[in-house]
Amino acid sequence: MYLHELTIQQAKKGLEIKDFSSVDLVNAMLDRIEKLDGDIGAYISVDADGARKAALEADQRISNKEHLLLKDECSSNNNKTDRKINALCYPLLGIPVALKDLLCTRGLKTTCASKILENFVPQYDATVVSMLKNAGAVIIGKTNLDEFAMGSSTENSGFHITRNPWNRDYVPGGSSGGSAAAVSAQMCTAALGTDTGGSIRQPASHCGVVGIKPTYGRVSRYGLVSYASSLDQIGPITRDVTDAAIMLNVICGHDPLDSTSANVEVPDFTAALTQFETDSLKGMRAGIPKEFLSLKGLDPDVEQAFNNAKKTLEKLGVEMVEVSLPQTDYAVAAYYVIAPSEASSNLARFDGVRYGLRDTEANDLIDMYKKTKSKGFGAEVQRRIITGTYALSAGYYDAYYGRATKVRAMIRDDFTRAFESCDIIISPVAPTPAFKIGENIDDPLTMYLTDIFTLSTNMAGLPGISVPCGFSSKELPIGLQIMANRFDEMAIIRAGYGLEHTLGIKQKFPDI
Ligand code: GLN
């Protein structure tokens, strides 16, 4: 196997036995980026010098045997036998990780794929970035996205599009398309994305990798540039489920800097996987929402992959039950009122006064605001700001924003009821495999409708995973979505792991 192909677990093993160094691993990724990224466009910026320096430090630590240190003894140097990953002080020592360019990185440009922040360099790290660095990870670069995470194809980036590594005529999905493409094309070992309505799960599905959107509140949003604050969550995009569990253990936990961060215990997500047996899922109940599968426009290849995944889970002893999510028809409409409303408020800060782009030809303050925003924001972001401002304005608030929040409460209730009869809920991630570049970009409504299976999870604050479960007739990957109750990431990880190991399609790479 090549260094760029390794999972986190494999890379950790190789680093430990000194088969290769972290510098070798980072150089392999940088070579790969050099060779491929001109075409794929997964990255907005690559921090080659910073990554090499961090890799050297990691190698030094490995030489000092610090990779064996446990959390409570980071400063001492004794080796204990309890080597559970989440007990380690540096669970990601020397591992090259990429970050969606919506996460603040101290001293490294954070653009949100927007011209308005083209030259913005934050003075602090997002909490998740500090957590990754503290765990020993090497930050290799910042990945492309739909501007401010608004989109489903990464075509809305203010800089360039990202291509799907499986077929470059197709989109990688979005908005974390850069992170998913970077993992899929092996230009990093793992990445972080963000998910407001599906932006981790849908690109993971389209690029044939694993993506987890954690429960709302599970991961700190401090230092994440907000799109829709009541829906945004940060999560891992990785080559397999175990890697996702490892990453999740690093980034979860209470953060006093984020008032919505939940103060709940974080279990060892990898523990259930190391002890996984063929009958481990026996007795688990999977709900299938009847409204999802009767949906018009479900691609036959997606339906087939879904049915195949369902059968596989059944073989593992998972019992299928029908559940109902009656508000499904209203979810897209409600989301596309709530998310733009929050966005219109969040994005008001980019006014040309405090930071970011400022138009210099304006006659007065109002003119400066107008010109800065018109030049700085792309068409989709402007559309969302206008929609959101309208939905929140006096006289329309009750009719639009108010009603959408009522639908949201009903969606949450639907899930609560559904989870009375099941432990997980399964569905396709998206109605179709990846679509062609340019196919939906001029038709926002069609683009919005592709989020139908993912955005209810955000409205209800639940965790969800996308696990590769098949390929379309055009050889494009298809993922299965598994959702669970609040804070039950363990259930989606266990079911996802069972599926991954039984289907045997993990570690299939695009031919590039
Ligand atoms: N496609 C959805 C949107 O454009 C979701 C985006 C996301 O999850 N960031 O709002």
Q: Examine the pLDDT at 79 and tell me if it is beyond 60.
A: no
Task: Taking residues 439-446, report their average pLDDT.
Answer: 92
**For this structure, is 179 an active site residue?**
no
Phi and psi torsions of 139, nearest 5° = -85, 115
Mean pLDDT of 172-192: 98
d(CA 235, CA 212): 6
Question: If you search the block for the tokens 């599905």, which residue do you land on?
Answer: 205
pLDDT over threshold 60, residue 473: yes
For residues 198 and 237, the answer to whether their CB atoms sit within 8 Å is: no
pLDDT at 270: 93
Strand-pair partners of 478: 470
pTM of this structure: 0.96
pLDDT at position 85: 60
Rounded-to-integer distance, Cα 335 and Cα 339, Å: 6
Which pLDDT value is given to residue 454? 98
406 is catalytic: no
- pLDDT of 83 strictly over 60: no
Residue carrying the six token digits 């050297």:
56
Asked if residue 349 has pLDDT above 90, the reply is yes
Cβ proximity of 471 and 417 under 8 Å: no
By most ligand atoms within 8 Å of CB, the mutation choice from 146, 335, 336, 452 for ligand 1 is: 146
Helices marked H in 100-186: 127-134, 177-184
Q: Provide the mean pLDDT of the chain.
A: 95
339 in contact with ligand 1, CB cutoff 6 A: yes
Is residue 113 in contact with ligand 1, taking CB distance under 6 Å?
no
Q: Are 412 and 483 in contact (CB under 8 A)?
A: no
Is there a catalytic annotation at residue 199? yes
> Which residue among 175, 230, 336, 338 is best mutated to probe the pocket of ligand 1, counting the most ligand atoms within 8 A of its Cβ?
175
Please name which of 21, 11, 12, 85 lies closest in space to residue 55, comparing C-alpha atoms: 21
Q: Calculate mean pLDDT across residues 84-103.
A: 89
Query: Is 195's C-beta closer than 6 angstroms to any atom of ligand 1?
Result: yes
Q: Where are the domains of the chain?
A: 3-277+463-507
- Counting atoms of ligand 1 from 1, which one is nearest the CA of 231? 8
Predicted confidence (pLDDT) at residue 257 exceeds the cutoff of 90: yes
Q: How much distance in Å is there from the Cα of 238 to the middle of ligand 1? A: 20
Of 43-47, 250-254, 290-294, 456-460, give the lowest mean pLDDT range: 290-294
- Given pLDDT bands bounded at 50, 70 and 90, which one contains residue 68? confident
pLDDT band at 271 (very low <50, low <70, confident <90, very high): confident
3-state secondary structure of 61: helix
Q: Is the CB of residue 235 below 6 angstroms from any atom belonging to ligand 1?
A: no
pLDDT band (50, 70, 90) for residue 81: very low
388-410: per-residue pLDDT in tens?
A: 999 999 999 999 999 999 999 99
Q: What is d(CA 492, CA 242) in angstroms, rounded to the nearest whole number?
A: 12
What's the CA gap between 188 and 317, in Å, rounded?
Answer: 35
| Residue 149 near ligand 1, beta carbon < 6 Å | yes
Assign domain 3-277+463-507 to its CATH architecture: Alpha-Beta Complex (3.90)
Check residue 84 and give its pLDDT. 58
Q: What is the mean pLDDT of residues 248-269?
A: 96
Contacts of 354 (CB under 8 A, 6+ apart): none
Evaluate if residue 228 carries a pLDDT over 80.
yes
The single residue of 175, 179, 226, 427 carrying the catalytic annotation is 175
89 falls in which pLDDT band (50, 70, 90)?
confident
Residue nearest ligand 1's atom 5 by CA: 197
The most distant pair of C-alpha atoms in the chain lies apart, rounded to whole Å, by 71
Q: Which of 236, 217, 220 is nearest to 104 (CA)?
A: 220
Of residues 100, 213, 310, 371, which has the active-site annotation? 100
